Structure 1
Protein backbone atom coordinates (compact mmCIF):
# COMPACT_ATOMS: atom_id res chain seq x y z
CA UNK A 1 0.00 0.00 0.00
CA UNK A 2 1.25 3.48 -0.84
CA UNK A 3 1.60 5.67 2.27
CA UNK A 4 -0.01 2.97 4.38
CA UNK A 5 0.98 4.50 7.73
CA UNK A 6 -1.35 7.41 6.91
CA UNK A 7 -4.18 5.49 5.21
CA UNK A 8 -4.51 2.08 6.91
CA UNK A 9 -6.16 2.29 10.36
CA UNK A 10 -3.87 -0.31 11.87
CA UNK A 11 -0.76 1.43 10.58
CA UNK A 12 -2.05 4.84 11.64
CA UNK A 13 -1.98 3.56 15.23
CA UNK A 14 1.60 2.37 14.71
CA UNK A 15 2.59 5.75 13.26
CA UNK A 16 1.17 7.57 16.28
CA UNK A 17 3.05 5.29 18.67
CA UNK A 18 6.32 5.61 16.75
CA UNK A 19 6.18 9.38 16.34
CA UNK A 20 5.60 11.06 19.72
CA UNK A 21 6.22 14.73 20.42
CA UNK A 22 9.86 15.69 19.83
CA UNK A 23 12.15 18.65 19.28
CA UNK A 24 10.89 19.27 15.75
CA UNK A 25 7.43 19.92 17.22
CA UNK A 26 9.01 22.29 19.76
CA UNK A 27 10.67 24.16 16.90
CA UNK A 28 7.51 24.58 14.83
CA UNK A 29 5.45 25.53 17.87
CA UNK A 30 8.01 28.22 18.74
CA UNK A 31 8.12 29.54 15.16
CA UNK A 32 4.36 29.93 14.98
CA UNK A 33 4.28 31.35 18.50
CA UNK A 34 6.48 34.29 17.51
CA UNK A 35 3.14 35.99 16.85
CA UNK A 36 0.39 35.12 19.36
CA UNK A 37 -3.07 34.09 18.24
CA UNK A 38 -2.48 33.74 14.50
CA UNK A 39 -4.47 31.82 11.90
CA UNK A 40 -2.47 28.71 10.99
CA UNK A 41 -2.61 26.15 8.19
CA UNK A 42 -1.07 22.79 9.09
CA UNK A 43 -0.78 21.20 5.66
CA UNK A 44 -0.26 17.45 5.85
CA UNK A 45 -1.36 17.49 9.47
CA UNK A 46 -1.60 13.70 9.74
CA UNK A 47 -2.95 12.55 13.09
CA UNK A 48 -2.76 16.06 14.50
CA UNK A 49 0.08 15.90 17.00
CA UNK A 50 1.30 19.46 16.31
CA UNK A 51 -2.08 20.71 15.06
CA UNK A 52 -3.70 20.15 18.43
CA UNK A 53 -0.81 21.77 20.29
CA UNK A 54 -1.06 24.86 18.08
CA UNK A 55 -4.76 25.14 18.88
CA UNK A 56 -4.10 24.64 22.59
CA UNK A 57 -1.55 27.48 22.41
CA UNK A 58 -4.33 29.84 21.32
CA UNK A 59 -3.98 29.86 17.54
CA UNK A 60 -6.85 29.41 15.08
CA UNK A 61 -5.84 26.23 13.29
CA UNK A 62 -6.91 24.44 10.12
CA UNK A 63 -5.51 20.93 9.70
CA UNK A 64 -5.48 19.70 6.09
CA UNK A 65 -4.60 16.18 4.97
CA UNK A 66 -5.59 13.90 2.07
CA UNK A 67 -5.61 10.77 4.27
CA UNK A 68 -9.01 10.18 5.84
CA UNK A 69 -7.76 7.53 8.28
CA UNK A 70 -5.22 9.96 9.74
CA UNK A 71 -7.87 12.65 10.12
CA UNK A 72 -10.19 10.15 11.83
CA UNK A 73 -7.47 9.52 14.40
CA UNK A 74 -6.91 13.27 14.83
CA UNK A 75 -10.60 13.98 15.33
CA UNK A 76 -10.77 11.36 18.09
CA UNK A 77 -8.10 13.06 20.23
CA UNK A 78 -8.77 15.42 23.15
CA UNK A 79 -9.08 19.03 22.03
CA UNK A 80 -9.91 18.11 18.43
CA UNK A 81 -12.98 20.36 18.52
CA UNK A 82 -10.68 23.39 18.58
CA UNK A 83 -9.37 22.57 15.08
CA UNK A 84 -11.01 22.82 11.67
CA UNK A 85 -10.16 19.51 9.97
CA UNK A 86 -10.24 19.35 6.17
CA UNK A 87 -9.69 16.28 4.02
CA UNK A 88 -7.87 17.37 0.86
CA UNK A 89 -4.78 19.03 -0.51
CA UNK A 90 -3.56 22.61 -0.71
CA UNK A 91 -6.06 23.19 -3.53
CA UNK A 92 -8.90 23.46 -0.98
CA UNK A 93 -7.35 26.39 0.88
CA UNK A 94 -9.32 29.66 0.69
CA UNK A 95 -7.62 32.86 -0.45
CA UNK A 96 -5.88 35.08 2.11
CA UNK A 97 -7.27 33.04 4.99
CA UNK A 98 -4.15 32.50 7.12
CA UNK A 99 -1.17 34.23 8.66
CA UNK A 100 1.16 31.23 8.93
CA UNK A 101 1.45 27.90 7.11
CA UNK A 102 3.51 24.92 8.25
CA UNK A 103 4.44 21.62 6.62
CA UNK A 104 6.03 19.34 9.22
CA UNK A 105 7.46 15.82 9.45
CA UNK A 106 9.04 16.25 6.00
CA UNK A 107 5.66 16.55 4.26
CA UNK A 108 7.37 18.68 1.61
CA UNK A 109 9.37 15.64 0.49
CA UNK A 110 6.20 13.67 -0.29
CA UNK A 111 5.46 16.24 -3.00
CA UNK A 112 7.77 14.50 -5.40
CA UNK A 113 7.03 16.03 -8.81
CA UNK A 114 8.22 19.57 -9.44
CA UNK A 115 4.82 20.57 -10.85
CA UNK A 116 3.04 19.27 -7.75
CA UNK A 117 5.48 21.10 -5.47
CA UNK A 118 5.06 24.31 -7.49
CA UNK A 119 1.24 24.06 -7.31
CA UNK A 120 1.40 23.51 -3.56
CA UNK A 121 3.60 26.56 -3.02
CA UNK A 122 1.34 28.64 -5.26
CA UNK A 123 -1.71 27.50 -3.26
CA UNK A 124 0.03 28.40 0.00
CA UNK A 125 0.99 31.82 -1.34
CA UNK A 126 -2.64 32.35 -2.35
CA UNK A 127 -3.92 31.23 1.06
CA UNK A 128 -1.56 33.45 3.06
CA UNK A 129 -2.06 37.16 3.64
CA UNK A 130 0.67 39.47 2.29
CA UNK A 131 3.67 39.00 4.54
CA UNK A 132 2.31 35.67 5.77
CA UNK A 133 4.91 33.20 6.97
CA UNK A 134 5.77 29.70 5.74
CA UNK A 135 7.83 27.12 7.65
CA UNK A 136 8.73 23.61 6.59
CA UNK A 137 11.41 20.93 6.92
CA UNK A 138 13.15 18.91 4.22
CA UNK A 139 16.16 16.62 4.61
CA UNK A 140 19.47 17.81 3.17
CA UNK A 141 20.45 15.37 0.40
CA UNK A 142 24.11 15.89 1.30
CA UNK A 143 23.42 14.02 4.56
CA UNK A 144 22.39 10.93 2.53
CA UNK A 145 19.90 9.86 5.19
CA UNK A 146 18.55 7.06 3.01
CA UNK A 147 21.77 5.12 3.48
CA UNK A 148 20.64 4.40 7.05
CA UNK A 149 17.27 3.11 5.85
CA UNK A 150 18.18 -0.55 5.50
CA UNK A 151 16.81 -3.73 7.08
CA UNK A 152 19.62 -3.82 9.64
CA UNK A 153 20.07 -0.23 10.81
CA UNK A 154 16.35 0.61 10.59
CA UNK A 155 15.10 -2.42 12.57
CA UNK A 156 12.97 -1.29 15.49
CA UNK A 157 10.26 -2.38 17.96
CA UNK A 158 7.19 -0.21 18.44
CA UNK A 159 4.94 -0.66 21.47
CA UNK A 160 1.29 0.23 20.90
CA UNK A 161 -0.88 1.74 23.67
CA UNK A 162 -2.47 -1.65 24.37
CA UNK A 163 0.94 -3.28 24.86
CA UNK A 164 1.27 -5.04 21.50
CA UNK A 165 4.79 -4.91 20.07
CA UNK A 166 5.20 -4.33 16.34
CA UNK A 167 8.50 -5.09 14.66
CA UNK A 168 9.42 -2.77 11.80
CA UNK A 169 12.20 -2.18 9.31
CA UNK A 170 12.79 -0.23 6.10
CA UNK A 171 14.39 -1.08 2.79
CA UNK A 172 15.37 1.33 0.02
CA UNK A 173 14.81 0.19 -3.56
CA UNK A 174 16.12 2.96 -5.82
CA UNK A 175 17.91 6.29 -5.47
CA UNK A 176 17.94 8.46 -8.59
CA UNK A 177 17.39 12.06 -9.58
CA UNK A 178 16.81 13.20 -6.02
CA UNK A 179 14.09 10.57 -5.57
CA UNK A 180 14.29 7.74 -3.05
CA UNK A 181 11.86 4.79 -3.28
CA UNK A 182 11.46 2.65 -0.18
CA UNK A 183 9.16 0.31 1.73
CA UNK A 184 8.40 0.13 5.45
CA UNK A 185 7.66 -3.37 6.79
CA UNK A 186 5.45 -3.82 9.87
CA UNK A 187 5.11 -7.24 11.50
CA UNK A 188 2.36 -7.50 14.12
CA UNK A 189 2.15 -9.87 17.05
CA UNK A 190 -0.63 -11.85 15.39
CA UNK A 191 1.64 -12.56 12.41
CA UNK A 192 0.13 -10.05 9.99
CA UNK A 193 2.70 -8.13 7.95
CA UNK A 194 1.69 -4.85 6.36
CA UNK A 195 3.81 -2.90 3.88
CA UNK A 196 3.86 0.82 3.22
CA UNK A 197 5.72 2.10 0.17
CA UNK A 198 6.61 5.69 -0.69
CA UNK A 199 8.86 7.96 -2.70
CA UNK A 200 10.53 11.01 -1.18
CA UNK A 201 12.12 13.90 -3.02
CA UNK A 202 15.41 15.23 -1.67
CA UNK A 203 15.73 18.79 -3.03
CA UNK A 204 18.91 20.79 -2.71
CA UNK A 205 18.98 24.15 -0.97
CA UNK A 206 19.28 25.83 -4.37
CA UNK A 207 16.21 23.95 -5.65
CA UNK A 208 14.18 24.93 -2.60
CA UNK A 209 15.17 28.58 -2.84
CA UNK A 210 14.37 28.68 -6.56
CA UNK A 211 10.94 27.10 -6.15
CA UNK A 212 10.03 29.46 -3.32
CA UNK A 213 11.14 32.47 -5.31
CA UNK A 214 9.06 31.35 -8.30
CA UNK A 215 5.99 31.07 -6.05
CA UNK A 216 6.40 34.60 -4.69
CA UNK A 217 8.08 33.78 -1.38
CA UNK A 218 11.15 35.44 0.07
CA UNK A 219 13.43 33.19 2.13
CA UNK A 220 14.25 34.61 5.54
CA UNK A 221 16.66 31.90 6.65
CA UNK A 222 17.41 28.20 6.38
CA UNK A 223 18.79 26.27 9.34
CA UNK A 224 20.58 22.94 9.22
CA UNK A 225 19.37 21.69 12.60
CA UNK A 226 16.69 22.06 15.24
CA UNK A 227 19.05 24.08 17.42
CA UNK A 228 19.47 26.77 14.76
CA UNK A 229 22.74 25.40 13.37
CA UNK A 230 23.85 26.46 9.89
CA UNK A 231 23.24 24.18 6.93
CA UNK A 232 25.72 21.28 6.91
CA UNK A 233 26.46 21.49 10.63
CA UNK A 234 23.22 20.44 12.26
CA UNK A 235 20.91 17.47 11.91
CA UNK A 236 21.03 16.98 8.15
CA UNK A 237 17.96 19.16 7.70
CA UNK A 238 16.79 22.20 5.80
CA UNK A 239 14.51 24.11 8.17
CA UNK A 240 13.05 26.76 5.91
CA UNK A 241 11.53 30.03 7.05
CA UNK A 242 10.03 32.26 4.36
CA UNK A 243 7.33 34.86 3.88
CA UNK A 244 4.94 35.79 1.13
CA UNK A 245 6.06 38.89 -0.75
Structure 2
Protein backbone atom coordinates (compact mmCIF):
# COMPACT_ATOMS: atom_id res chain seq x y z
CA UNK A 1 0.00 0.00 0.00
CA UNK A 2 1.63 3.29 -1.08
CA UNK A 3 1.83 6.15 1.40
CA UNK A 4 -1.01 8.68 1.42
CA UNK A 5 1.30 11.43 0.20
CA UNK A 6 1.35 9.59 -3.14
CA UNK A 7 -1.99 7.79 -3.13
CA UNK A 8 -4.50 10.14 -1.50
CA UNK A 9 -6.53 12.02 -4.13
CA UNK A 10 -6.07 15.33 -2.30
CA UNK A 11 -2.35 14.93 -1.58
CA UNK A 12 -0.96 13.67 -4.90
CA UNK A 13 -1.92 16.90 -6.73
CA UNK A 14 -0.06 19.05 -4.16
CA UNK A 15 3.09 16.92 -4.05
CA UNK A 16 5.02 18.70 -6.82
CA UNK A 17 4.35 22.14 -5.36
CA UNK A 18 5.92 21.20 -2.03
CA UNK A 19 8.68 19.11 -3.61
CA UNK A 20 10.01 22.17 -5.43
CA UNK A 21 12.47 22.27 -8.32
CA UNK A 22 13.83 18.81 -9.09
CA UNK A 23 17.47 19.75 -9.63
CA UNK A 24 18.38 16.15 -8.80
CA UNK A 25 16.89 14.86 -12.05
CA UNK A 26 19.48 16.44 -14.35
CA UNK A 27 22.05 13.88 -13.19
CA UNK A 28 19.79 11.04 -14.34
CA UNK A 29 19.39 12.59 -17.77
CA UNK A 30 23.15 12.87 -17.98
CA UNK A 31 23.61 9.24 -16.93
CA UNK A 32 21.06 8.08 -19.52
CA UNK A 33 23.13 9.89 -22.14
CA UNK A 34 26.40 8.52 -20.79
CA UNK A 35 25.06 4.96 -20.97
CA UNK A 36 23.46 5.43 -24.39
CA UNK A 37 20.06 4.44 -22.99
CA UNK A 38 17.18 4.79 -25.45
CA UNK A 39 14.57 2.72 -23.58
CA UNK A 40 14.18 3.64 -19.90
CA UNK A 41 12.10 2.21 -17.07
CA UNK A 42 11.28 4.67 -14.27
CA UNK A 43 10.49 2.60 -11.17
CA UNK A 44 8.37 4.45 -8.63
CA UNK A 45 7.83 7.22 -11.15
CA UNK A 46 5.40 9.10 -8.90
CA UNK A 47 4.04 12.23 -10.55
CA UNK A 48 6.22 11.64 -13.61
CA UNK A 49 8.76 14.47 -13.42
CA UNK A 50 11.72 12.40 -14.62
CA UNK A 51 9.71 10.26 -17.03
CA UNK A 52 8.50 13.38 -18.83
CA UNK A 53 12.03 14.79 -19.08
CA UNK A 54 13.30 11.51 -20.48
CA UNK A 55 10.50 11.36 -23.05
CA UNK A 56 11.11 14.96 -24.07
CA UNK A 57 14.71 13.98 -24.78
CA UNK A 58 13.45 11.49 -27.37
CA UNK A 59 13.64 8.30 -25.33
CA UNK A 60 11.06 5.53 -25.03
CA UNK A 61 9.88 5.57 -21.42
CA UNK A 62 7.82 3.31 -19.18
CA UNK A 63 6.81 4.65 -15.78
CA UNK A 64 5.52 2.30 -13.07
CA UNK A 65 4.05 3.24 -9.71
CA UNK A 66 1.64 1.62 -7.22
CA UNK A 67 -0.14 4.92 -6.48
CA UNK A 68 -2.90 5.58 -8.97
CA UNK A 69 -3.42 9.16 -7.76
CA UNK A 70 0.21 10.00 -8.57
CA UNK A 71 -0.10 8.35 -11.98
CA UNK A 72 -3.13 10.54 -12.72
CA UNK A 73 -0.96 13.59 -12.12
CA UNK A 74 1.80 12.07 -14.27
CA UNK A 75 -0.57 11.36 -17.16
CA UNK A 76 -1.76 14.97 -17.10
CA UNK A 77 1.83 16.09 -17.87
CA UNK A 78 2.25 13.64 -20.74
CA UNK A 79 0.47 15.81 -23.29
CA UNK A 80 1.67 13.85 -26.32
CA UNK A 81 0.89 10.48 -24.67
CA UNK A 82 4.43 9.29 -25.37
CA UNK A 83 4.95 7.46 -22.08
CA UNK A 84 3.59 4.05 -21.08
CA UNK A 85 2.23 4.28 -17.54
CA UNK A 86 1.87 1.08 -15.52
CA UNK A 87 -0.12 0.91 -12.28
CA UNK A 88 1.52 -1.52 -9.87
CA UNK A 89 4.96 -2.52 -8.70
CA UNK A 90 7.81 -3.42 -11.03
CA UNK A 91 6.71 -7.06 -11.21
CA UNK A 92 3.69 -5.80 -13.19
CA UNK A 93 6.02 -4.60 -15.97
CA UNK A 94 6.53 -7.04 -18.87
CA UNK A 95 9.97 -7.87 -20.22
CA UNK A 96 10.90 -4.61 -21.93
CA UNK A 97 14.47 -5.12 -22.95
CA UNK A 98 15.08 -1.75 -21.27
CA UNK A 99 18.53 -0.21 -21.55
CA UNK A 100 18.22 1.51 -18.19
CA UNK A 101 16.05 1.37 -15.07
CA UNK A 102 16.13 4.17 -12.52
CA UNK A 103 14.88 4.79 -8.98
CA UNK A 104 15.10 8.41 -7.86
CA UNK A 105 14.43 10.16 -4.58
CA UNK A 106 13.49 7.82 -1.74
CA UNK A 107 12.18 5.02 -3.96
CA UNK A 108 14.91 2.49 -3.16
CA UNK A 109 14.34 3.03 0.57
CA UNK A 110 10.60 2.32 0.66
CA UNK A 111 11.21 -1.44 0.35
CA UNK A 112 11.41 -2.27 4.04
CA UNK A 113 11.83 -6.04 4.03
CA UNK A 114 14.57 -8.06 2.39
CA UNK A 115 11.90 -9.97 0.46
CA UNK A 116 10.37 -6.77 -0.98
CA UNK A 117 13.81 -5.43 -1.96
CA UNK A 118 14.79 -8.75 -3.56
CA UNK A 119 11.50 -8.94 -5.47
CA UNK A 120 12.06 -5.42 -6.76
CA UNK A 121 15.62 -6.09 -7.91
CA UNK A 122 14.52 -9.27 -9.65
CA UNK A 123 11.59 -7.54 -11.30
CA UNK A 124 13.91 -4.86 -12.66
CA UNK A 125 16.36 -7.54 -13.78
CA UNK A 126 13.59 -9.19 -15.82
CA UNK A 127 12.69 -5.86 -17.46
CA UNK A 128 16.28 -5.03 -18.50
CA UNK A 129 18.07 -6.27 -21.58
CA UNK A 130 21.26 -8.29 -21.03
CA UNK A 131 23.93 -5.86 -19.78
CA UNK A 132 21.28 -3.21 -19.24
CA UNK A 133 21.83 -0.82 -16.34
CA UNK A 134 20.16 -0.04 -13.05
CA UNK A 135 20.87 3.36 -11.46
CA UNK A 136 19.42 4.47 -8.15
CA UNK A 137 20.18 6.56 -5.11
CA UNK A 138 19.91 5.82 -1.42
CA UNK A 139 20.75 7.99 1.58
CA UNK A 140 23.99 7.33 3.45
CA UNK A 141 23.07 6.09 6.94
CA UNK A 142 26.18 7.65 8.45
CA UNK A 143 24.91 11.13 7.57
CA UNK A 144 21.96 10.61 9.97
CA UNK A 145 19.62 12.73 7.88
CA UNK A 146 16.76 12.13 10.31
CA UNK A 147 18.48 14.35 12.88
CA UNK A 148 18.32 17.28 10.47
CA UNK A 149 14.69 16.44 9.69
CA UNK A 150 13.76 16.40 13.37
CA UNK A 151 15.31 19.83 13.89
CA UNK A 152 13.32 21.36 11.04
CA UNK A 153 9.76 21.70 12.32
CA UNK A 154 8.78 24.84 10.39
CA UNK A 155 5.29 25.04 8.94
CA UNK A 156 5.19 25.72 5.21
CA UNK A 157 2.30 27.20 3.26
CA UNK A 158 2.09 26.93 -0.52
CA UNK A 159 -0.56 28.13 -2.93
CA UNK A 160 -1.57 25.05 -4.92
CA UNK A 161 -3.47 25.43 -8.21
CA UNK A 162 -6.89 23.86 -7.80
CA UNK A 163 -6.55 23.54 -4.02
CA UNK A 164 -5.72 27.04 -2.79
CA UNK A 165 -3.37 27.62 0.17
CA UNK A 166 -2.15 24.43 1.84
CA UNK A 167 -0.14 24.23 5.06
CA UNK A 168 2.33 21.38 5.60
CA UNK A 169 3.88 20.26 8.88
CA UNK A 170 6.52 17.55 9.27
CA UNK A 171 7.68 15.44 12.21
CA UNK A 172 9.95 12.46 12.71
CA UNK A 173 7.83 9.91 14.58
CA UNK A 174 10.26 7.05 15.21
CA UNK A 175 13.92 6.13 14.75
CA UNK A 176 14.52 2.39 15.09
CA UNK A 177 17.46 1.88 12.78
CA UNK A 178 17.64 0.87 10.04
CA UNK A 179 14.07 2.24 9.93
CA UNK A 180 13.07 5.89 10.23
CA UNK A 181 9.42 6.94 10.28
CA UNK A 182 7.93 10.38 9.75
CA UNK A 183 4.60 12.09 9.24
CA UNK A 184 3.41 14.89 6.98
CA UNK A 185 0.26 16.75 8.00
CA UNK A 186 -1.49 18.83 5.36
CA UNK A 187 -4.15 21.39 6.19
CA UNK A 188 -6.22 22.70 3.27
CA UNK A 189 -6.94 26.25 4.36
CA UNK A 190 -9.77 26.69 1.87
CA UNK A 191 -12.00 24.23 3.72
CA UNK A 192 -10.06 23.24 6.85
CA UNK A 193 -9.59 19.61 5.81
CA UNK A 194 -6.60 17.87 7.40
CA UNK A 195 -4.91 14.85 5.79
CA UNK A 196 -1.89 13.04 7.24
CA UNK A 197 0.63 10.78 5.57
CA UNK A 198 2.91 8.38 7.46
CA UNK A 199 6.06 6.99 5.85
CA UNK A 200 8.94 4.72 6.80
CA UNK A 201 12.29 4.45 5.03
CA UNK A 202 14.99 1.82 5.42
CA UNK A 203 18.58 3.05 5.53
CA UNK A 204 20.88 0.44 3.99
CA UNK A 205 24.65 0.82 4.10
CA UNK A 206 26.96 0.63 1.10
CA UNK A 207 28.05 -2.97 1.67
CA UNK A 208 24.50 -4.19 2.25
CA UNK A 209 23.27 -2.61 -0.97
CA UNK A 210 26.16 -3.93 -3.01
CA UNK A 211 25.74 -7.45 -1.63
CA UNK A 212 22.04 -7.42 -2.48
CA UNK A 213 22.78 -6.33 -6.04
CA UNK A 214 25.37 -9.05 -6.58
CA UNK A 215 23.03 -11.68 -5.11
CA UNK A 216 20.28 -10.71 -7.54
CA UNK A 217 22.13 -10.68 -10.82
CA UNK A 218 23.93 -7.35 -11.02
CA UNK A 219 27.51 -6.17 -11.19
CA UNK A 220 28.27 -2.84 -9.48
CA UNK A 221 30.14 -0.60 -11.90
CA UNK A 222 30.33 2.57 -9.85
CA UNK A 223 29.07 4.27 -6.70
CA UNK A 224 28.82 8.03 -7.14
CA UNK A 225 27.78 11.16 -5.34
CA UNK A 226 24.52 12.90 -6.05
CA UNK A 227 25.87 16.11 -7.64
CA UNK A 228 23.32 18.35 -5.92
CA UNK A 229 23.77 16.63 -2.48
CA UNK A 230 27.46 15.78 -2.10
CA UNK A 231 28.21 13.39 0.74
CA UNK A 232 24.56 12.61 1.39
CA UNK A 233 23.67 9.90 -1.11
CA UNK A 234 25.08 6.78 -2.69
CA UNK A 235 24.27 6.65 -6.40
CA UNK A 236 24.72 3.05 -7.53
CA UNK A 237 25.39 2.27 -11.17
CA UNK A 238 24.94 -1.46 -11.76
CA UNK A 239 24.86 -3.71 -14.80
CA UNK A 240 22.58 -6.69 -15.30
CA UNK A 241 24.64 -9.84 -15.60
CA UNK A 242 23.64 -12.82 -17.74
2:138–2:234: 8 Å Cα contact kept in structure 1? yes
Q: Secondary structure of 1:124's partner? A: helix
Q: Secondary structure of 2:34's partner? A: coil
Distance 1:235 1:153, change over 3 A: farther
Find 1:237's aligned residue among 229, 233, 237.
233
Q: TM-score, normalised by structure 2?
A: 0.92
Q: TM-score, normalised by structure 1?
A: 0.91
Name structure 1 gaps, 5 residues minimum. none
In structure 1, what is the Cα distance between the partners aligned to 2:41 and 2:217?
A: 18
Q: Secondary structure of 1:81's partner? A: coil
Q: Secondary structure of 1:46's partner? A: coil
In structure 2, what is the Cα distance between the partners aligned to 1:16 and 1:109?
A: 20
Distance 1:176 1:136, change over 3 A: same
Q: Secondary structure of 1:9's partner? A: coil
In structure 2, what is the Cα distance between the partners aligned to 1:20 and 1:56?
A: 20
Q: What does residue 60 of structure 2 align with?
A: 60
Structure 1 residue 20 displacement after superposition? 3.7
Q: Aligned pair count?
A: 240
Structure 1 residue 52 displacement after superposition? 0.8
In structure 2, what is the Cα distance between the partners aligned to 1:92 and 1:2?
A: 15
1:143–1:236: 8 Å Cα contact kept in structure 2? yes
The answer on 1:131 being equivalent to 2:131 is yes
Structure 1 residue 37 displacement after superposition? 5.9
Structure 1 residue 216 displacement after superposition? 1.1
In structure 1, what is the Cα distance between the partners aligned to 2:151 and 2:161?
A: 25
Name structure 2 gaps, 5 residues minimum. none
